[in-house]
Amino acid sequence: MRVVLDTNILVSALITKGTPPDQLYQAWLRNELELVTSPAQIDEVTDVLARPRLRRYIDLGEATQMVAAIHQHATVLSEVPVTRRSPDPKDDPILAVAVVGDVGLVVSGDRSDMLALGDVEGIPIRSAREALGIVLNANADDDA
């Protein structure tokens, strides 16, 4: 399954081990799902992970490994159009990647904007907990 993991999900994966964001990140590392992203999101992830206020919560080595893994193993779309799909313009690049990348799911922790949309052009936007259930069911169906 092709997915977009919002930046807040990727950051949460490093802060809170064993939680749904981390489980989704680990599923991607095990090639159980395909991460679709853009250079703009990689830059955003890099910037957020370097913030001084997060240093006590995030291991710098793990943050570096995450960014390197995204560069090496994610599907990075270089041509992403600028669109207006969210009340928060910062979310628009993530939503554009979802549409252009033909993903099956967008995962976000942003309740007020992203999750409130429900979907973008028919692509569901779900919380990490909901998405984990979807991914596990999809993988179980593939194994059957």
Residues 29-65: pLDDT tens digits?
Answer: 999 999 999 999 999 999 999 999 998 999 999 999 9
Q: Would you state the pLDDT for residue 94?
A: 93
Instruction: Sketch the domain layout of the chain as residue ranges.
Output: 2-143
Tokens of 99: 């549409």
Cα 76 to the center of its chain, rounded Å: 12
Taking only Cα atoms into account, the Rg of the chain, rounded to an integer number of angstroms, comes to 14
Class assignment of domain 2-143?
A: alpha beta
CA distance 142 to 71: 27
* Residues 108-128, mean pLDDT to the nearest whole number: 93
Q: Would you state the pLDDT for residue 144?
A: 54
* Residues 112-132, mean pLDDT to the nearest whole number: 94
Asked whether residue 142 carries a pLDDT value surpassing 70, the answer given is: no
Closest CA to 84 of 96, 72, 76, 74: 96
Cα 85 to the center of its chain, rounded Å: 17
Q: Would you state the pLDDT for residue 72?
A: 95
